[in-house]
Amino acid sequence: MLVAAVLAPLQIFVGDLHGLNTLEHQPAKIAAIEGIWKTEKGAPLVLFAVPNEKERRNDYAIEIPKGASLVLKHDAEAEIRGLDEFEPDRPPVAPLFYGFRLMVGIGVGMLLLAWFSAWRLRRAGPLPRMLLWTFAAFTFSGWIATLAGWIVTEVGRQLWLVTGILRTADAVGHISGAELGASLTGYVLTYSLMLLAYFVVITHMAGKGAEQQEALK
């Protein structure tokens, strides 16, 4: 738990560095993540919104004024390039916008949980049941956050495969749709079976751990 309490903020720090690097090399991705449709100075940090791809604006937005400029450029008045500068070579906004918030949300959740538990562990006695159930609920949090981040980074690269040099559409191989469909079905089936097996195993192992605890009492 102590390890998690140290690693979680470290991960967030590395994430910030990564974000700054992406801003430099793939600015369209950042604009989509932040939901910034037009280039502006002192851009707000959009906490939550429903990106409207048709009207090119955010609906129901909750924003912190000048937040994005502060986070991305560490200067409240700095200019952030919006999606309008990259048209039409820009990624779709919704998957990046939601994916990023899911990833960061889970990361913050992990951080709070780790810090609270590390603090709570200093006291004697068993941990409260609620906290143990929260741990159980976080079993797949790392996976989900990683996958969400992966979707952000891969979808965010589009329509380029190598930003500014090679388009994804120009790089696809001469594989037929049927072949792709067959292999994709195969992979999905395989991984579903593996996931099922994994659930069976961890449920079994968790049960075994509980039995040992009971036996110790």
Partner 1 sequence: MNIDLPMIFAVLMGISILAYVVLDGYDLGVGMLMPAATPDEQNLMVASIGPFWDANETWLVLGIGLLLVAFPKAHGVVLGELYLPVAVMLIGLMFRGVAFEFRMKALGWHAGLWNWLFWFGSFVASLAQGFMLGRYITGFEPGAGYWLFAFIVGGSVCGGYVLLGATWLILRTEGELQKKAYAWAKWGLLWVALGVALVSIATPLASATVYDKWFDFPRTFGLMILPAASVAAGIWLWRSLRPEVADWKPFAGAVTIYVLAFLGLAYSIFPYFVVDRMTIWDAASHDSALTFMLWGAAIVLPCIAGYTVFSYRVFRGKVREALYK
Kindly tell me the burial class for residue 61, based on how many C-beta atoms sit within 10 Å of its own C-beta (0-12, 13-18, 19 or more): middle
Q: Is 53 helix (H, G, I), strand (E, B) or coil?
A: coil
Shortest distance in whole angstroms from residue 21 CB to partner 1: 24
Peptide bond into 159 cis (omega under 30): yes
List contacts with partner 1 (CB under 8 A).
173-175, 179, 182-183, 186-187, 190, 194, 197, 200-201
Shortest distance in whole angstroms from residue 189 CB to partner 1: 9
Closer CB to partner 1, 64 or 201, in the complex = 201
Closer CB to partner 1, 21 or 183, in the complex = 183
Q: Is 32 helix (H, G, I), strand (E, B) or coil?
A: helix
Closer CB to partner 1, 81 or 167, in the complex = 167
Peptide bond into 88 cis (omega under 30): yes
Closer CB to partner 1, 9 or 186, in the complex = 186
Tokens of 59: 């609906």
Tokens of 134: 């929260």
